[in-house]
């Protein structure tokens, strides 16, 4: 077990696996509170709940003064269930903002019914909302014409991205806002997930330039999300004070240009929850085939999709089945760690493009536990029922107490949907 990686001890995880079975998501509340505290310089921290939308985590966020972003009707309902509303908080920020590039009919009804501000990524959204809900609060999500991400799939700017209103269409969007008498709150730019400082400077400059060119009157700007976390041992943590100073300078420049106060929102998903979570799996088989030693665990890409989808790296640790065993006595082995799905891509040790990689781990044995670290973001929220595997349980550890915050789905529940 790599103690610098995990908020949990081996004994704690062994006990949780015994009590709840595997695979299992385990989250640490204290880590989430720490990450929130890192960002307290921002006026408003808006959690992009797509990273992890468990309502118990949303309640924890709410207790810390964090507001939320929702990208679907389901996420709006989750926010409402966690006690959020469209009402502004003490900083004047709405509890929920809905961000999307389109409305489906049911979601449009929901945002109108609950008066939820909309962060619009297309002019059609402004027309559809404005026609039914004049005066509704809107943000404009701007595509500045460039983007960046940890993979092409998480780059959300530039002409190949479907996201946002193209920067040069801002005057047209403002005209529609005027036509429909919508209420403009601010401009939002999210250029991708996993961005670095050079891109950050570029996006801050683009925000300032756009406001100066158009003279758009606004109350707030949103920096979007995208803060990365150190997924690999030895990788440095992002300097959140530097991050804040870049955006705050943009905010001040805009405020002085407009001659009015302007607030700053940040919309992180990954940063707040990734490091709080682990995926706990059990080793169920080992085999050597040619040059590869396979370690087969009971979690698959139906649970944690990131390695298969993006070639993402997650650190791994082994916990021996026998608490008395000293793992350092086992030889190290270059291992290919894979899951139970009937698909060759169900491998946790892979790079971009699906190339299979080996990971040095203590030689695994059936019954050991495997810990996949930093899986609190885009883990459970991206799970599926592929191979008819029920969604797995989630546990939240807060201080000394471990609480089941989602029970394991059953196969009967899957079948029930088809009893029509």
Catalytic residues: 342
Residues belonging to the binding site for substrate are 270, 306, 310, 343, 378
Q: Are 334 and 358 in contact (CB under 8 A)?
A: yes
Q: Any contact of residue 307 with ligand LLP (CB under 6 A)?
A: no
* Residue 276 or 335 with smaller CB distance to ligand LLP: 276
Closest separation between CB of residue 280 and ligand LLP, Å? 19
Q: Which of 36, 48, 216, 319 binds ligand LLP (CB under 6 A)?
A: 48
The reply to whether 299 sits near ligand LLP by the rule CB under 6 A is no
We find the least distance from the C-beta atom of residue 274 to ligand LLP, in angstroms, to be 8
Regarding 247 and contact with ligand LLP (CB under 6 A), the answer is no
Does 280 contact ligand LLP by CB under 6 A?
Answer: no
Gap between the Cα atoms of 266 and 221, Å rounded: 9
Kindly tell me which residue out of 7, 226, 339, 340 binds ligand LLP, with binding defined by CB under 6 A: 226
Q: Which residue has the tokens 């929920």?
A: 96
Q: Name the helix (H) or strand (E) containing 248.
A: helix 240-258
Minimum CB separation from ligand LLP for residue 263, in Å? 17
Among 28, 267, 346, 394, binds ligand LLP (CB under 6 A): 267
350 binds ligand LLP per the rule CB under 6 A: no
- Percent helix, strand, coil in the chain (nearest 5)? 35, 25, 40
Interaction between residue 224 and ligand LLP (CB under 6 A):
yes
d(CA 383, CA 308) in angstroms, rounded, equals 12
Q: From CA 92, how far away is CA 87, in angstroms rounded?
A: 9
Q: Contact, 204 vs 249, CB < 8 A?
A: yes
The rounded distance, in Å, linking the Cα atoms of 230 and 233 is 7
Q: How far is the CB of 326 from ligand LLP (least distance, A)?
A: 35
Pick the piece of the chain touching ligand LLP (CB under 6 A) from 72-80, 204-212, 264-272, 405-413: 264-272
Omega within 30 of 0 (cis) for the link into 148: no
- Binding of residue 270 to ligand LLP (CB under 6 A): yes
Enumerate residues 6+ apart whose C-beta is below 8 A from 374: 5, 229, 231, 274, 275, 277, 278, 314, 315
Note whether 273 binds ligand LLP by CB under 6 A: no
Give yes or no for residue 35 binding ligand LLP (CB under 6 A). Answer: no
Q: State the SS3 of 153-215.
A: HHECCCCCCCCCEEHHHHHHHHHHHHHHCCEEEEEECCCECCCCHHHHHHHHHHHHHHHHHHC
Residue 388, sorted as left (phi over 0), alpha (psi -120 to 50) or beta, turns out to be left
329: which DSSP letter?
G
Which residues, 6+ apart, have CB-to-CB distance to 112 below 8 Å?
129, 132, 133, 136
Stretch that binds ligand LLP, among 5-13, 203-211, 221-229, 279-287 (CB under 6 A): 221-229
Q: Looking at beta carbons only, is 242 or 403 nearer to ligand LLP?
A: 242
Can residue 193 be called a binding residue for ligand LLP (CB under 6 A)? yes
Whether 35 contacts 45, CB under 8 Å = no
Least distance in angstroms from the C-beta of 167 to ligand LLP: 16
Contact segment (CB under 6 A) with ligand LLP among 12-20, 131-139, 224-232, 412-420 equals 224-232
Q: Is 306 near ligand LLP (CB under 6 A)? A: yes
Q: How far is the CB of 220 from ligand LLP (least distance, A)?
A: 15
- Count of residues interacting with ligand LLP (CB under 6 A): 19
Q: Map the footprint of ligand LLP across residues 366-385, applying CB under 6 A.
A: 378
Interface with ligand LLP by CB under 6 A: which residues? 48, 51, 99, 154, 156, 190, 193, 224-227, 267-271, 306, 310, 378
């Amino acid at each position: 077990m790599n103690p610098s990686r995990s908020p949990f001890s081996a004994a704690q995880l062994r006990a949780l696996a015994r009590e709840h079975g595997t695979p299992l998501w385990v989250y640490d509340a204290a880590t989430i509170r720490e990450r929130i505290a890192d960002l307290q310089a921002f006026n408003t921290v808006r959690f992009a709940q797509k990273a992890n939308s468990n309502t118990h985590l949303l309640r924890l966020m709410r207790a810390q003064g964090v507001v939320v972003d929702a990208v679907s009707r389901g996420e709006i309902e989750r926010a409402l269930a966690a006690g959020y509303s469209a009402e502004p908080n003490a900083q004047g920020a709405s509890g929920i903002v809905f961000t999307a590039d389109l409305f489906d009919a049911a979601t449009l009804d929901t945002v109108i019914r609950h008066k939820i501000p909309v962060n619009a990524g297309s002019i059609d959204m402004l027309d559809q909302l404005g026609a039914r809900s004049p005066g509704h609060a809107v943000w404009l999500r701007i595509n500045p014409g460039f983007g960046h991400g940890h993979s092409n799939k998480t780059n959300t700017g530039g002409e190949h991205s479907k996201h946002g209103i193209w920067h040069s269409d801002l005057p047209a969007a403002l005209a529609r806002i005027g036509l429909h008498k919508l209420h403009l709150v601010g401009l939002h730019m999210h250029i991708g997930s996993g961005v670095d400082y050079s891109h950050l400077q570029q996006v801050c400059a683009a925000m300032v330039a756009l406001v100066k060119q158009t003279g758009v009157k606004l109350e707030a700007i949103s920096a979007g999300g995208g803060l990365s976390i150190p997924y690999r041992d030895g990788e440095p943590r992002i300097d959140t004070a530097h991050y804040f100073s870049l955006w705050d300078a943009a905010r001040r420049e805009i405020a002085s240009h407009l001659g009015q106060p302007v607030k700053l929102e940040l919309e992180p998903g990954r940063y707040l929850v990734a490091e709080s979570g682990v995926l706990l799996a059990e080793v169920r088989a080992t085999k050597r085939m040619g040059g590869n030693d396979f370690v087969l665990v009971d979690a698959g890409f139906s649970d944690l999709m990131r390695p298969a989808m993006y070639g993402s790296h997650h650190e791994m640790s082994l916990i021996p089945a026998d608490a008395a065993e000293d793992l350092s006595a086992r030889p190290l082995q270059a291992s290919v760690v894979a899951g139970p799905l009937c698909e060759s891509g169900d491998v946790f040790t892979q790079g971009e493009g699906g190339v299979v990689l080996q990971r040095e781990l203590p030689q695994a044995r059936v019954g050991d536990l495997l810990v996949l670290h930093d899986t609190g973001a885009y883990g459970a929220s991206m799970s599926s029922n592929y191979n008819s595997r029920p969604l797995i349980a989630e546990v939240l550890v807060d201080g000394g107490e471990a609480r089941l915050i989602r029970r394991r789905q059953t196969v009967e529940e899957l079948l029930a949907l088809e009893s029509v």
